[in-house]
Structure 1
């Protein structure tokens, strides 16, 4: 239930929170950097690991399982599509959108 409350709060205040949130590590890079990550194996691993850790951290902190079986390929594909459509967003913002979608899907189950 805690994760649903957090997501509801985030949905109510998306612009101010996103504008003021500090994202560190690979998540602070742009989605265009995500899209270009395949050019370097180390960058690819760092970016994908950051997203998996971020989503896993949100999953562990909530009361409801949001990642299901943790389909790595599906998560990366979602991020690929999201980052292609909004290349100037930060990877962390895209990952937050992914987590909110996962939580929404989990709430329907």
Structure 2
């Protein structure tokens, strides 16, 4: 139970920081609309998808428990596609944080 609480606290702290005006740099600072348009340019597509996978991987490494479940790249990209379609004005980084929180929640259930 302590591990679940530690993971929850770790993942909720960035939300507080984001709400307090923390800066997201790189591809994560772009909007979900840009994410949805990424396929028009292969370099942008690669940059955006790599940023999200790297962000989630970084959170995974810093967690006390495996949250990405083997790192299914296609599933991560598909999740981001769905999330960005539903909230296109959000930043990619905010959507990626939501993804990480969902993954952490799923990992805690295992």
Give the alignment's TM-score, normalised by structure 2: 0.89
Compute the displacement of 1:63 (Å): 0.1
**Aligned runs of 1:37-52 on 2, under 5 Å?**
37-52=38-53
Compute the displacement of 1:26 (Å): 0.2
- Deviating above 6 A after TM superposition, structure 1's stretches of 4 or more consecutive aligned residues are none
Give the match for residue 77 of structure 1: 78
> Does residue 4 of structure 2 align to residue 4 of structure 1?
no
Q: Distance in 1 between matches of 2:67 and 2:93?
A: 17
Q: Distance in 2 between matches of 1:79 and 1:102?
A: 13
Matched residue SS, 1:20: coil
Q: Distance in 2 between matches of 1:54 and 1:65?
A: 14
> Does residue 99 of structure 2 align to residue 95 of structure 1?
no
Q: What is the total number of aligned residue pairs between the two structures?
A: 106
Give the match for residue 69 of structure 2: 68
Change in CA separation of 1:57 and 1:44 when aligned onto 2, cut-off 3 Å: same
Give the alignment's TM-score, normalised by structure 1: 0.90
RMSD: 1.6
Structure 2 unaligned spans of 5+:
none
Pick which of 97-106 and 19-28 moved more. Answer: 19-28
Compute the displacement of 1:10 (Å): 5.6
Change in CA separation of 1:92 and 1:8 when aligned onto 2, cut-off 3 Å: closer
